Structure 1
Amino acid sequence: MAEVTYATIGYAAPVLLTLLRVCQGIGVGGEWGGSVLLSMEWGSIRRRGLMAGWPQLGVPLGLVTSTGVVRLDR
């Protein structure tokens, strides 16, 4: 299988990457709100704030995990 390089895809690479990140942001925006709502509604009355806080940790934990994986690769 041929390796895809800058010469193969050219300026389309940053454009595609930007479009995919925009699509990802739109998807996360809808899913994040729903996850906070469900976790708050289904949590016990005394622990609703704690339950609604767990989805907030998704992005930071994902960033830390991805940074760790990239660091392992080097």
Structure 2
Amino acid sequence: MPTVPPTPSPEVITYTVRAGDALAKIAAQFGTTVEEIVEANEIEDANRIEVGQVLVIPQGAEIPILCPILWPLTMAPTRC
């Protein structure tokens, strides 16, 4: 019977808060919710985060892939 290799555990995702950031914006960027970020970081006031603060992004969130938009848009697949 073939064996299945163990699934590697996902790495912890962190995000450093920048000027103009808000938890809602960060949550949307990573495909998670404000509530999940608040809980993961034990934040007392979701309206008060500081520039330079390092946040743990809850497991299961997607890491955003920044890719330039190529104009005109084509139907052919492109790679970043």
Q: TM-score, normalised by structure 2?
A: 0.27
The answer to which structure, 1 or 2, has the higher relative contact order (CA under 8 A, 6+ apart) is: 2
Structure of higher CA gyration radius: 1
Select the structure that is richer in strand: 2
Select the structure that is richer in helix: 1
Q: TM-score, normalised by structure 1?
A: 0.28
